[in-house]
Structure 1
Amino acid sequence: MPETFASFEEFREITKINAEKLQIKHPRILVDGNEMLRFHGTTIACSLGINGSSNPCTLDQCGLCQILRLGFSANHKFEDTIGVFTASTCGKAIGSIKSFNKPFMRKCVIVCRVIAGRINNPLQEIQEMSYSDYDSLVKNINCQLDIEELIVLNPRGVLPCFVVMYKL
């Protein structure tokens, strides 16, 4: 939707403006808001994608259609943090899906553009800052210091681009 894209780009500009005000300048944030590609896992409770069906449903339990129609929501809690969970791999995104063992639920992964902005990294020393000083939070880092799991605090910073549906 054009409105979703416009909101995403507006959030990027706000992130860049906020980065300009910091004492320590982060070049990547100043240039593109620290944009990255990430994966988000969710459920499908309707026939979207089956036999060419392409109209999003209005079912509350259909995570994919809710995201396609309304955008991401920061109301979802993931490990005590409110925000949008994203992962560096499809496997981690699929593993994060809570389908509650309902047989009619299918799973999918959405490839997203993410404005990560300023990231709260638990391995870095934090000097009395609150979550409000950050745009994203690291939840898991691998041994090569790659961010495996990232919570984006503002849902406007996550733009769905592609959907990969699985037969499991």
Structure 2
Amino acid sequence: MIWGYFFGDGKSKPSTLANPGICPNCNTRPVALNPTTGQYFDYCSKTCATQAKAPGTTQRGSLLLSLCEQCKKKPKFRDGTKVHPYCGRTCAKLAASSGSTPVSPTSPTSLRSARSTIPRTTPSGTHCQTPGCLSPVFVDANGIPSKYCKKTHREWGERGCIFCRAAPRNGTLAMCQPCYDRALHMAPVVIEVPEDHENYKSVAAQFQQSWRHNTACPQVRAVYKIVNTAANLKKYEQYRDGVEARGIFLSTGKSRGNENRRWHGTRRRCNIGDKGVTTFCTNPKCSLCCIVKTSFSLGFFKGATGWGRFGVGIYTSSTSSKSNDYSYNEGITSDWKALLLNKVVVGKGIKLTQDNTNLTQPPSGYDSVSILDRFPSGDTDQELGPCRSCPGRSSKLR
């Protein structure tokens, strides 16, 4: 099963993906998912849905009618009896000072409540990048502005949820729990990772550091997170735990099951990954989409090369430049290429010093096959060879 990232390399920078949207009423939280239909509601909660349908809005809470008349970004303040023209005291004062429509009377208690929950407005391009936050960015003593208004929002943006960018992520997940549950419900799904996020930087660094060929290393232009189905993830974890039980790698300071991130290059017959394209194609010959959607298949063994150094198996590499040799586009026009970065359960690997094309599984007592750092032919790649001991179809990979 695939559980990793793939990157695009080209001349232009990809645009940010349009995720399932922010609630048009609170303009802060993502809209809620209907688990029955798989479709999204118009709002994040029943509270926002009720507020959006209050007097002064259309039946569906049209943004043109429900947004503050001053900042045009936050929803108008509602005190339970009427909808006021502005989102809070700040915008009301700005409107009054600029000679706009007079401020509607509002009780001091209601204004204090609104002021405590609604950020200040700032000039375009200077507000915090956290979705829904309009606070001014932090400027250090040298006059250099940040991308965020405070440390908490910077933590969310650089190390938090890659999906909503407005909440801390849950444990080792790349997302907060609500966003992860939503993505898992839609899985398999591809989500763009923000360029300033630590996950993006980690993948880009591994790509550059593992480029060992005597050619110029391409620049990573985009990184996408692949969320696989719960069923595939469960199979992978069961296999990994089984390998761990046999080898006890955790006790030696290694990851569970000796899990590592490895590259895989393959054929792409659509533009998934280009400029924020995350929709799978239906072409059965697009190996990239097929792998991401259904995992690797031994039925396509030798399809690209016509042979296998270690026999029947699924090949990945610790060397990005090696896998890049197998990454190519076919039947499409694009300035981009794509590589898969997979989590692989290496387990106990046997290192071979010569080819063995007759293997159908690792030797007894081993979980995978690899080569030494320096192969007699001069190839410095570290390939992972066949693993036929895992349950299902290639479930050692995710």
Q: Same fold (TM over 0.5)?
A: yes
Say if 2:235 is the partner of 1:7. yes
Give CA-to-partner distance per residue, 1:81-117, whole Å, 9 cap, x none. Answer: 22211111210101234x5x84538742111111001
Other-structure match for 1:163: none
Contact 1:119 1:136 in 2 (8 A): yes
Write the distance in 1 (CA, Å) between the matches of 2:281 and 2:374: 37
Cα offsets for 1:33-77 (capped at 9, x unmatched): 111111111121012123432111121211110011111123324
**Alignment equivalent of 2:263, drawn from 31, 39, 52:** 39
Structure 2 residue corresponding to 1:61, chosen from 255, 280, 285:
285
Contact kept? 1:60, 1:66, Cα under 8 Å = yes
The count of corresponding residues between Structure 1 and Structure 2 is 145
Residue range with higher mean Cα deviation, 71-80 or 85-94: 71-80
| Structure number with higher strand proportion | 1
Is residue 136 of structure 1 aligned with residue 379 of structure 2? Answer: no
Give the whole-Å Cα distance in 1 for the aligned partners of 2:273 and 2:315. 23
In structure 2, what is the Cα distance between the partners aligned to 1:49 and 1:131? 34
Q: 1:102 to 1:65 in 2, by over 3 A?
A: closer
Partner of 2:346: 116
Superposition RMSD in Å: 3.1
Output the amino acid matched with 2:240.
R
| Alignment-mate amino acid for residue 18 of structure 1 | R
Mean Cα displacement is larger for which, 78-87 or 55-64? 78-87
Deviation at 1:139, TM superposition (A): 3.8
Does the 8 Å CA contact 2:262/2:317 hold for their aligned counterparts? yes
- Please give the secondary structure, in 2, of the residue aligned with 1:15: helix
Tell which deviates more after alignment, 81-90 or 130-139. 130-139
Gaps of 5+ in 2: 1-227, 303-307, 354-360
Aligned to 1:157: 396
Any conservation in 1 of the 2:351–2:369 contact (CA below 8 Å)?
A: yes
Distance in 2 between the 1:28 and 1:37 partners?
A: 18
Q: Which amino acid aligns with 1:141?
A: D
User: Structure 1-normalised TM-score?
Assistant: 0.70
Residue 83 (1) aligns with residue 322 (2): no
Q: Which residue of 1 aligns with 2:209?
A: none
d(CA) in 2 for partners of 1:56, 1:140: 37
Runs of 4+ residues over 4 Å off in structure 1: 25-31
Does residue 148 (structure 1) correspond to residue 387 (structure 2)? The answer is no
Q: Higher RCO, 1 or 2 (CA under 8 Å, sep at least 6)?
A: 1
Q: Which amino acid aligns with 1:52?
A: G
Shift of 1:16: 2.1
CA contact (8 A) 1:19 1:29 kept: no
Unmatched 5+ residue regions in structure 1?
124-129, 160-168
SS at match of 1:82: coil
* Higher-Rg member (1/2): 2
Structure 2 Cα separation of the partners of residues 29 and 18 of structure 1: 15
CA distance in 2, matches of 1:29, 1:84: 26
TM-score (norm 2): 0.32
